Amino acid sequence: MRKVKKDLVVIGGGPAGLAAAKTAYDDGIKDVMILERDFELGGILPQCIHNGFGLHHFKEELTGPEYAQRFINDVEERDIEVKLDTMVLDVTKERKVYAMNKKEGFLEIEAKAVVLAMGCRERTSGAIGIPGTRPAGVLTAGTAQRYTNIEGFVPGKEVVILGSGDIGLIMARRMKLEGADVKAVCELLPYTGGLTRNVVQCLEDYDIPLMLNHTVTAIKGEGRLEAVEISEVDENLKPIPETAKTIKADTLLLSVGLIPENELSKKADVVLDERTGGPIVNEGRETNIEGIFACGNVLHVHDLVDWVTEESQIAGKHAAKYIKDNYEKTGSCAELKAGENVSYVIPQKIELEAGDRKRIPLYMRVSTPLTAVDINLYADGEKLYSFSEPFAKPGEMISVPLAQKTLDDLGNVDEIKVDIIEKEGN
Amino acid sequence: MIETKTLTCVACPKGCEVTVEYEGDEIIEIKGNACPQGQSYAEEEIVAPTRILPTTIKVKNGALALCPVKTTKQIPLENMFEAMEIIGNKVIEAPISMGDVLIENILDTGADIVATRDMPAEIK
């Protein structure tokens, strides 16, 4: 077994890993290695050929491959070691990373710091349990995206999509443009899980019906999918049998959620947050295991890659600080709490010494769609400040800045709570 | 007849709800946009909606079978399927670099079709 030592090991060469590696390198850590299981860098972005990326980070609109290419070029311009076709099998809390590839066999890499950037994966048909047969033609929206955009096979001609997550909406348009008849997008909930702009550009532009409060109640077909039965659901999300109708289809795409991929994190004894499915982190994106950081979709599922980049820069910067040994914890720790209508807040705790930062961005999601809201922050029960937004939707992450000065003025706080409330009279 | 339409601006991911009052092709009032992009989006949306078209093009001797491409600017929504057919009938030889112009002035829209990534030649 080959043994090597590295300052920083980044697991995953998608947008999170690339940004973390680049930032740590630019902050003085030159001994960086990226481990990627695919044959190229970029993560999921190369198959996200649509536009809409980069508006926050680059202030211009890019496609997924373009966004990835910029970071790939950045990494290639630097002396960052990249191992492709390399599968990481184990990570220990002592920061030993075990990986293998065809060329070198089994590797042990001892790292001063590790950034977990493994991303997420899709929930599959097995996870949602649809009654009926199990024919070919039932696949996740992301798999269909890979077939269509990378491999060059459009997976069907008559399509129904279950779930209105962004990948489902994007694939509705994509398959329509490739000549398929996209019959409907069914969403169990009374609102879409995707970005509003995707509902407009992908469904409304092409007259694809969005059927809210609907779900697939049966899969029909031997060998190949022949039809799906869809039904309306009641307010308890239970299908109403008399509303059932059959739609002829050879393809059912599932866009029913993403799960952070944390098998490796668990091996390193990293504690996960059951709400996000990702590690519990402080504002430097350090997990409970010293020197192990997490960023991107492995930490919590993002809707915009721009926020992945911002978060990964934070992780890369703090990993670099940690390696340079000028990384101090205050000893006290403020817990971030998700209050009314907030499903989660990242980071879950604030425990680092201030340093040179001006503000800490708090990432959060609402648990239900709201209009005309006040976003309120409280420190140990006392209101810190609040500001207004015209609306808040579960599909769109909210970034709330917490100023360093506010924190400094507070001194020791045990709890910072955020709630998001609709204004009175609304 | 004066009509009112509520649009979701797609100029950025913020997704402002913009209300437009118009008569035929004439805009009377635009409300609800947070920035000037919303103003021009709403105007265009009423008169003639346009979009960027992202798709793929077939590649010969490439590391992958397809290369992602896009239009360099927005083209009319009504031209999408015609543009897809032109792009679908074309095969490009690798290697390709991001930004390479693969089809010029598609359908006289003034937009070129450009590669959105590097596509190296097939690894043998």
Provide ipTM, 2 decimals. 0.87
User: Does A348 score more than 80 pLDDT?
Assistant: yes
Predicted pLDDT at A186: 97
Cβ of A61 and B77 within 8 Å?
Answer: no
Nearest CA in chain B to A59: B12
Cβ of A178 and B84 within 8 Å?
Answer: yes
In the β-sheet with B17-23, what is the strand arrangement from edge to edge? Answer: B3-8, B17-23, B26-31
Could you give the domains of chain B?
Answer: 3-47 (no CATH), 54-115 (3.10.530.10)
A55 shares its domain with A156: no
Cα A255 to Cα A185, A194, A365, A414, B61: the distances in Å are 10, 10, 19, 39, 33
CATH, residue A266: 3.50.50.60
Do A19 and A80 meet the contact criterion of CB atoms below 8 Å apart?
no
Predicted pLDDT at A200: 87
Minimal Cα–Cα distance from B2 to chain A, Å?
Answer: 23
User: Comparing A107 with A425, which gets the higher pLDDT?
Assistant: A107
Predicted pLDDT at A175: 97
**Facing residues of A383 across strands?**
A378
Q: Provide mean pLDDT across the span A103-130.
A: 92
Nearest CA in chain B to A171: B55
Helix and strand tally (H, E) in chain B?
2, 10
Do A241 and A208 meet the contact criterion of CB atoms below 8 Å apart?
no
Nearest CA in chain B to A390: B16
Binned at pLDDT 50, 70 and 90, residue A311 comes out as: very high
Do A143 and A156 meet the contact criterion of CB atoms below 8 Å apart?
no
Binned at pLDDT 50, 70 and 90, residue A357 comes out as: low
CA separation for the pair B18, B27 (Å, rounded): 13
**Percentage of chain A surpassing pLDDT 90?**
79
Cβ of A46 and B117 within 8 Å?
Answer: yes
Do A125 and A146 meet the contact criterion of CB atoms below 8 Å apart?
no
DSSP secondary structure code for residue A203 in this structure: I
pLDDT per residue over A217-266, tens digit each? Answer: 999 999 999 999 999 999 999 999 999 999 999 999 999 889 999 999 99
A158 shares its domain with A248: yes
Interface test with B, best of A149, A191, A302, A388 (most B CBs within 10 A): A149
Residue B21 neighbours by CB distance under 10 Å = 15
A168 shares its domain with A78: no
- Token pair 């590696």 is at which residue? A21
Of A304, A327, A350, which one is at a domain's C-terminal end? A327
A220 shares its domain with A133: yes
Do A47 and A143 meet the contact criterion of CB atoms below 8 Å apart?
no
CA separation for the pair A185, A144 (Å, rounded): 15
Do B9 and B38 meet the contact criterion of CB atoms below 8 Å apart?
yes
- Average pLDDT over all residues of chain A: 93
CA separation for the pair A50, B68 (Å, rounded): 9
Cβ of B68 and A151 within 8 Å?
Answer: no
Minimal Cα–Cα distance from B28 to chain A, Å?
Answer: 23
| A392-401 burial code (b ≥16 CB/10 A, e <16) | bbbbbbbebe
User: Does B15 score more than 80 pLDDT?
Assistant: no
Nearest CA in chain B to A42: B117
Cβ of B116 and A69 within 8 Å?
Answer: yes
CA separation for the pair A193, A170 (Å, rounded): 12
A174 shares its domain with A242: yes
User: How many CA atoms does the CB half-sphere of A334 hold within 13 Å?
Assistant: 23
A153 shares its domain with A272: no
A20 shares its domain with A143: no
A322 shares its domain with A371: no
At A42 the three-state DSSP class reads coil
Do A287 and A279 meet the contact criterion of CB atoms below 8 Å apart?
yes
A134 shares its domain with A74: no
**Facing residues of A418 across strands?**
A338, A377
Do A215 and A193 meet the contact criterion of CB atoms below 8 Å apart?
no
User: Does A426 score more than 60 pLDDT?
Assistant: no
Structure tokens at A263: 């098998």
Nearest CA in chain A to B85: A178
Of A327, A344, A366, which one is at a domain's C-terminal end? A327
CA separation for the pair A86, A99 (Å, rounded): 7
Nearest Cα to Cα of residue A306 among B121, B123, B13, B84: B13
Of A327, A350, A384, which one is at a domain's C-terminal end? A327
Do A161 and A186 meet the contact criterion of CB atoms below 8 Å apart?
yes
Which chain A residues touch B80 with a CB distance below 8 Å?
177
Cβ of B8 and A196 within 8 Å?
Answer: yes
Opening angle at CA A314, ends A308 and A319, nearest 5: 120
Predicted pLDDT at B75: 95
In the β-sheet with A342-346, what is the strand arrangement from edge to edge? Answer: A342-346, A359-366, A398-403
A106 shares its domain with A134: no
Beta pairing class for B75-76 and B50-51: antiparallel
Q: Provide mean pLDDT across the span A276-301.
A: 96
Beta pairing class for A120-122 and A292-294: unpaired
Residue A20 neighbours by CB distance under 10 Å = 35
CATH, residue A374: 2.60.40
Segment among A292-296, B40-44, B71-75 with least mean pLDDT: B40-44
- What is the torsional sign of CA A176, A142, A166, A23? negative
Nearest Cα to Cα of residue B107 among B81, B115, B49: B81
User: Comparing B13 with A188, which gets the higher pLDDT?
Assistant: A188
A107 shares its domain with A171: no
User: Comparing B46 with B63, which gets the higher pLDDT?
Assistant: B63
DSSP secondary structure code for residue A125 in this structure: H
Structure tokens at A141: 């929206």
Number of domains in chain A: 3
pLDDT per residue over B53-71, tens digit each? Answer: 999 999 999 999 999 999 9
Which chain B residues touch A200 with a CB distance below 8 Å?
7-8, 10
pLDDT per residue over A48-95, tens digit each? Answer: 999 999 989 999 999 999 999 999 999 999 999 999 999 999 999 999
Predicted pLDDT at B111: 97
User: Does B10 score more than 80 pLDDT?
Assistant: no
A365 shares its domain with A346: yes
Domain that holds residue A153: 124-256
Minimal Cα–Cα distance from A396 to chain B, Å?
Answer: 9
Predicted pLDDT at A365: 95
Binned at pLDDT 50, 70 and 90, residue A425 comes out as: low
The burial class, CB within 10 Å (0-12 / 13-18 / 19+), for B37 is middle
User: Comparing B69 with B8, which gets the higher pLDDT?
Assistant: B69
Structure tokens at A152: 């060059």
User: Does A330 score more than 80 pLDDT?
Assistant: no
Interface test with B, best of A41, A56, A148, A196 (most B CBs within 10 A): A196
- Token pair 């169990």 is at which residue? A188
User: Comparing A187 with B37, which gets the higher pLDDT?
Assistant: A187
CA separation for the pair B85, B97 (Å, rounded): 23
